[in-house]
Structure 1
Amino acid sequence: MKQKRLYILFLIVLAIFTLSFCYSYLTESAIDDPKNEILLRKIGHEVLISSNDKTSKVLPIKLISKDEFQISFENKFAFTPDSLINIVKNNISKSTFPKEYSVSVQKCSNDAIVYGFHIDADSSKNVIACVGRKMPLDCYVITLKFASKTNILFTKYSFFVILFLAVSLFFLIRFRNPKREKEVIIADDETNITIGKYSFYFQKNQLQFENEQISLTPKESKLLHILSKSPNEIIDRNTLQKEIWENEGVIVTRSLDMFISKLRKKLDRDSSINIVNIHGVGYKLEIKN
């Protein structure tokens, strides 16, 4: 039971750690990757080249939010939507950015959006309009807003982690100890001796406390069998030694004390049971009502 609880606790801690790691990873801004910042600057550079501007600078990339970035420029420029779409698509396809995003072009003077398009992971859902029309010379900023990978992927990872926990718990409960379950079934079919809250299976050298199986050595089993036949009665030490070691020819006095000590430990789950030493006489299996 204790092992089962520890295993469940381990699974819970593992799940929390995994989800935390995934969440931390998924909520990182893509701009944290230096290559992505370079790629955004490259998009700005190629937009200027397409408008025949080879001297103006692309200003530092601005992080508007976790998934939104802004490319601004030193000077005014003109552009055609066709070129802008191709430049952005070609560069984003080679990056680690999410493949679903929206692009908007705004005027510097009043933030009015003069052009925009949306690219979806499913190309059939792309929204692209007004191609072929050249936009006049003006001061523009280009904003790229990427679909948040947190909601979709974190939900996906959460599902698999929860599924893993559910499957693990199922197998833990269903197959936690097939051998033990088999032993319990077999023990239920055998004659047992009730000792307090224990069931004692003499032929199997086994004690059962609730669902716990406790193995006994043949001598421990024989000793407990003798004591259990006369509960709360003193059994002479010499009688116990003779019954247990009579076929071995040699009796070691301390052996009896050692086996009594081991039996006490195996019976300590029930406080109403005790093997009492009657000094100079023998032992008795004391069972309190």
Structure 2
Amino acid sequence: MSWKVLLAMGTALIVIVSWTAIRRRAALPATDQATEKLVIRQIGHQLLLQAGDSSSRILPVEERANKEYLIRFAAPFTFVPDALVATVRRVVAANGLPSSYLVEVIHCAPSAEVIYGFQIYKDSAHDVIPCLGRRQEKACYNIRIRFTETEAAGMDPFSSGLLAGSLVAILASLLFRALYIRKRRTADKPGNMPALGTPTGITDSPGPQNIQPDLPPSAIKQEVPAPTGIAIGNLLFFRESQQLVAGADIILLTAKEAKLLHVFANAQQEMIDRDQLMKQVWEDEGVIVGRSLDMFVSKLRKKLQADPRVSILNVHGKGYKLVIGQMAC
């Protein structure tokens, strides 16, 4: 069989495999859309926590055409535009969603009036974020998010990658064949023939060969889900890594500070009894000292100053309360 026939068969095989992969990818279920709906739902969860509501339900996220999603809530709530903008930005960036999007807060039916909105672009210099700091009245709201970033015209990146890979494979086959023919012609010249009794292609000391087994992609690289933080005003608290994120800044916490802040973050706007705090934070140590609680609360207050609206209030004779205040517009 001539090398031209082999090359044609190899090219046809590459095209068939590439086309099959594209077709299989198109037939797969829309896992990307399902993941996006879960991420969008996280935005609603963070907003309710910032409003001091940890019990109301978030209704199933409605997916619409053109990369548009609608977050619906079971109960009225209030929000501050600053927190809404910061929360959407954090969740979108942490989960790799498109970086250009339009967010609108809409009154529930029948009015369906847009009462607030903002536009974020991939080039942040063109962002449109109107009046910040104005707390909106408590009412029934829906939040509509539409991603406006689109892929470049033409085939999708996966198909483009397969096409490029196929072309590279074809070129590599041509180059390999050319080198092989040149080597054969050189070996066939007089004076380059192997000595009698020495088989061609066998070395004096073969030695063991280092053969790498083929591994499935899942065994080579596994995706690690991004940790989910708790929103405290414009701050984001990560319990496991003991970090408090304020914009581009990361504030490190001690193990005890992180444990105490975790109790406060899960009961924002609620008074927590001193005895309850000491029991949850110090119960494993056997000895509970009231002055230790006051000292760590003082340390947390200083680190929470990264957002001036967040503070820990002392409820005289009872305990403490983590509150999120309101900034003037």
In 2, the alpha carbon distance for the partners of 1:153 and 1:45 equals 37
Aligned equivalent of 2:9: 6
Judge which range, 79-88 or 132-141, deviates more.
132-141
In 2, the alpha carbon distance for the partners of 1:150 and 1:22 equals 17
Q: Is residue 144 of structure 2 the alignment partner of residue 143 of structure 1?
A: yes
Aligned equivalent of 1:156: 157
1:59–1:179 CA distance, 2 compared to 1 (3 A):
closer
Alignment size in residue pairs: 187
1:57–1:153 CA distance, 2 compared to 1 (3 A):
farther
Over residues 199-255 of structure 1, what are the superposed CA-to-partner deviations in whole Å (9 max), with x where a residue is unaligned? Answer: xxxxxxxxxxxxxxxxxxxxxxxxxxxxxxxxxxxxxxxxxxxxxxxxxxxxxxxxx
Aligned equivalent of 2:68: 68
Aligned equivalent of 2:117: 116
Aligned equivalent of 2:135: 134
Deviation of 1:71 (Å): 0.9
In 2, the alpha carbon distance for the partners of 1:11 and 1:182 equals 26
1:124–1:30 CA distance, 2 compared to 1 (3 A):
farther
Deviation of 1:58 (Å): 1.8
Unaligned ranges ≥5, structure 1: 188-289
1:20–1:98 CA distance, 2 compared to 1 (3 A):
farther
| 8 Å Cα contact 2:101/2:149 also seen in 1 | no
In 2, the alpha carbon distance for the partners of 1:176 and 1:53 equals 69
Deviation of 1:106 (Å): 1.3
In 2, the alpha carbon distance for the partners of 1:30 and 1:167 equals 29
Deviation of 1:104 (Å): 1.3
Letter aligned with residue 111 of structure 2 = N
Superposition map of 1:223-238 within 5 A: none
In 2, the alpha carbon distance for the partners of 1:16 and 1:85 equals 42
Over residues 15-59 of structure 1, what are the superposed CA-to-partner deviations in whole Å (9 max), with x where a residue is unaligned? Answer: 22343455567x8353423xx544433322332333344553222
Residue aligned with 1:57, SS: coil
| 8 Å Cα contact 1:22/1:157 also seen in 2 | no
Letter aligned with residue 32 of structure 2 = A
Deviation of 1:183 (Å): 7.1
Aligned equivalent of 1:93: 93
In 1, the alpha carbon distance for the partners of 2:160 and 2:38 equals 35
Aligned equivalent of 1:216: none
Q: Is residue 202 of structure 2 the alignment partner of residue 176 of structure 1?
A: no
| 8 Å Cα contact 1:40/1:61 also seen in 2 | yes
In 2, the alpha carbon distance for the partners of 1:8 and 1:95 equals 39
> Over alpha carbons, which structure has the higher Rg?
1
Superposition map of 1:1-289 within 5 A: 1-20=4-23, 28=30, 30-33=32-35, 36-65=36-65, 67-108=67-108, 109-147=110-148, 155-180=156-181
Residue aligned with 1:69, SS: strand
Deviation of 1:154 (Å): 5.5
Residue aligned with 1:79, SS: coil
Deviation of 1:73 (Å): 1.3
Letter aligned with residue 46 of structure 1 = Q
In 2, the alpha carbon distance for the partners of 1:125 and 1:8 equals 47
| 8 Å Cα contact 1:29/1:66 also seen in 2 | no
1:150–1:13 CA distance, 2 compared to 1 (3 A):
farther
| 8 Å Cα contact 1:48/1:77 also seen in 2 | yes
Unaligned ranges ≥5, structure 2: 189-329
| 8 Å Cα contact 1:30/1:96 also seen in 2 | no
Percent sequence identity is: 23
1:117–1:29 CA distance, 2 compared to 1 (3 A):
farther
In 2, the alpha carbon distance for the partners of 1:182 and 1:102 equals 62
Letter aligned with residue 75 of structure 1 = A
Deviation of 1:66 (Å): 6.6
Q: Which has the higher strand share?
A: 1
| 8 Å Cα contact 1:22/1:154 also seen in 2 | no
TM-align CA RMSD:
3.8
Residue aligned with 2:133, SS: coil
In 1, the alpha carbon distance for the partners of 2:179 and 2:46 equals 67
| 8 Å Cα contact 1:40/1:71 also seen in 2 | yes
1:89–1:178 CA distance, 2 compared to 1 (3 A):
closer
In 2, the alpha carbon distance for the partners of 1:175 and 1:31 equals 43
In 2, the alpha carbon distance for the partners of 1:135 and 1:160 equals 47
1:94–1:152 CA distance, 2 compared to 1 (3 A):
farther
| 8 Å Cα contact 2:99/2:149 also seen in 1 | no
